[in-house]
Homo-oligomer: A and B are copies of this chain.
Amino acid sequence: MTEHSLWRLSRALHRAINDQHFDDLAAMIDDHIDWAVFGPIDMFPFLGMRHGKTAVLEACRQISQNVRVHRYERESVLLGEDSASAMMRFSLTALDTNRPISLRVAQFAQFRAGRLISMRVVVDTFDLVEQALGRAIHLPKIA
């Protein structure tokens, strides 16, 4: 049984972000990849939409310069033939401030011929912003 592309992607992303080793990731990203990590790009310029392999690798390079991944846990995984989704929890450090960040992330990936052609990531971004700032943002109660 062939290994699902999700596991190879997961290892490649980990090596890229933590070890600045981008070859494995580059080898499995399609030239015409469509990529989006939804979040506030004013604060985190490496989030947002990217089109094409060069732009995605550059975003991953910027992520690798800003965070270190200590641990991740997959709470749910669904695998399709050429697709995968995962609900994950990451323990990170923000490298500029040395702040620990615990992050909930949902990831949807599509592959073609073993290469990543689409990635959509939703993050609990308000929680991320508060942890990156190191303080709570006051919010009115609306309900």
Q: Which residues of A contact B (CB under 8 A)?
A: 38-40, 42-46, 62, 65-66, 75-76, 78-80, 83-85, 87, 94, 96-97, 104-106, 108, 110, 120, 122-129, 132-133, 137, 139-143
Contacts and interface: CB of A to CB of B under 8 A. Distances in A.
Given A80-B78, A84-B78, A87-B85, A129 B139 contact: yes
A143 B62 contact: yes
Copies of the polypeptide in the assembly: 2
Contacts of A62: 143
A108 B108 contact: no
Contact of A122 (B106, B139, B140, B141): B106
Given A76-B120, A78-B78, A137-B137, A38 B127 contact: yes
A106 B84 CA distance: 13
Nearest to A128: B126
